[in-house]
Amino acid sequence: MLCSGISKDELKANPNAVMNVLEFTQRKQTVVAQPLLQPRLPTQVANSQQPLTLEALAGNGKDPRALYSAMQKIGQGAFGEVYVATGNGDNQRVAIKRMAVTPKNTKHLLAEIEIQRNSNHPNVVNYVRAHYHDNELWVVLEFMGGGSLTEILEMFTFVKLTEPQIAYVTLETLKGLNFLHQQSRIHRDIKSDNILLGEQGEVKMADFGFAVQLTDASQKRNTVVGTPYWMAPELIEGHDYDAKVDVWSLGIMIREMAEGEPPYMEFPTARALFLILTKGVPELKEPAKWSAPMREFLDQCLTKDIAARPSSDQLLKHAWLRSACPQAEFKQLVRRLKAKPA
């Protein structure tokens, strides 16, 4: 227990919480080894007499390496590498997620493509096309020239978002989340890394590697996915969960924007999870710095009682979001930061 950051006294005082953390760790390791356990495909796929295949969705027989040039690696995801490239036919800059296809991850990749290509919304990164060739899947997406929200937060020592700017990012993210939730979809990995920014100040959700489609027969999930520090308590405890796990993660992301990192980031993962279960999320470090409506919004997102935690639709009506800065202001911030020398 000592290596996990949980003391013997804490073990004695909170044995159930410690057991939940240990069981969570075991489940999480299983998910890492096999990215998505028994994924449920979108309803139209699951009910199809002839299930869709990668060949049907993305197999056009062409080698995608001949279709794009000036490829430059810009990131590494849980299931593949991300590149920026230029289409040889239209000279369009795109982002490309390259993933090796294996028997274990084929259903997962099918679900990801289906969710991505059927999620057309101003606050979701646009799906362009996909290529399946030589046991590799290339998912081609809209290129977001402003980078990720994380890139701004990494400059926290020198650049801090104002409350209206935080409200703007929250509002735009929430619009995208509400769209997904209305389609019975859960993102399951909301954090700054997966929020991309456009050069015009757009804010869009990305990385649907952990997204899932619910069906009428299964409106709750219990697969352990996501990133621990942003994870809702019901996920850690192994309970069934629904779209409100995204609301919790949104609250943690707001804390990221306000303080530079999520709560408990200084602790090992196991201790952080233990503290979330036993203590909840700590109060803002400088509560007087933030308005009462913002603090109320945060408290609602980070309510442990799932029944009392509002939905994305309910949160969109919250008065705090009316304090969001205009897109033009956020555009200027993005452009100014992108122009800074590395």
User: How far is Cα of residue 291 from the mean position of the Cα atoms in its chain?
Assistant: 26
Tens digits of residue pLDDT in 62-81: 789 999 999 998 877 666 78
- How far is Cα 1 from Cα 15, in angstroms, rounded to an integer? 12
Global pTM reads 0.82
pLDDT at res. 210: 47
Instruction: State the angle between helix axes of 327-338 and 163-182 in degrees (0 to 180), rounded to the nearest 10.
Output: 110
Residues 55 and 188 occupy one common structural domain: no
Q: Do the domain assignments include residue 334?
A: yes
Q: Do the domain assignments include residue 243?
A: yes
Residues 152 and 292 occupy one common structural domain: yes
Residues 181 and 253 occupy one common structural domain: yes
Query: Which of 150, 131, 246, 257 lies closest to 194 in space, CA to CA?
Result: 150
Q: How many residues does the chain have?
A: 342
pLDDT at 170 over 60: yes
Report the 10 Å Cβ neighbour count for 49: 4
Residues 266 and 198 occupy one common structural domain: yes
- How far is Cα 170 from Cα 338, in angstroms, rounded to an integer? 21
Q: Do the domain assignments include residue 120?
A: yes
pLDDT average, residue stretch 308-312: 97
- How far is Cα 30 from Cα 198, in angstroms, rounded to an integer? 35
pLDDT at 301 over 90: yes
pLDDT at res. 208: 63
Q: Domain containing 299: what range?
A: 147-338
Catalytic: which of 189, 193, 207, 246? 189
Residues 134 and 247 occupy one common structural domain: no
DSSP state, residue 149 = H
pLDDT at 52 over 90: no
Name the strands in the sheet holding 127-133, side by side, starting at the edge strand that comes first in the sequence. 68-76, 81-87, 93-100, 136-142, 127-133
216 is catalytic: no
Residues 129 and 164 occupy one common structural domain: no
pLDDT at 11 over 80: no
CATH of the domain at 109: 3.30.200.20
Query: Which of 114, 80, 111 lies closest to 97 in space, CA to CA?
Result: 80
Tens digits of residue pLDDT in 250-283: 999 999 999 999 998 888 888 888 888 888 899 9
Q: Do the domain assignments include residue 28?
A: no
- How far is Cα 17 from Cα 157, in angstroms, rounded to an integer? 35
Q: Where are the alpha helices (DSSP H) in 34-132?
A: 43-46, 54-58, 106-117
Q: Where are the alpha helices (DSSP H) in the chain?
A: 8-13, 15-33, 43-46, 54-58, 106-117, 149-153, 163-182, 233-236, 244-259, 269-279, 292-301, 312-315, 327-338
pLDDT at res. 89: 86
Residue 339's SS3 state is coil
pLDDT at 39 over 70: no
CATH of the domain at 295: 1.10.510.10
Residue 2 binned pLDDT confidence (cut-offs 50, 70, 90)? very low
Question: What residues contact residue 97 under an 8 Å CB cut-off, 6+ apart?
Answer: 77, 80, 81, 82, 138, 139, 141
Residues 224 and 157 occupy one common structural domain: yes
pLDDT average, residue stretch 314-320: 98
Report the 10 Å Cβ neighbour count for 188: 26
Instruction: Write down which residue in 87, 107, 142 finishes a domain.
Output: 142
Q: Do the domain assignments include residue 110?
A: yes
The total domain count for the chain is 2
The answer to whether residues 221 and 36 touch, using CB atoms and an 8 Å cutoff, is no
Residues 267 and 125 occupy one common structural domain: no
Give the lowest-confidence range in 88-97, 165-174, 231-240.
231-240
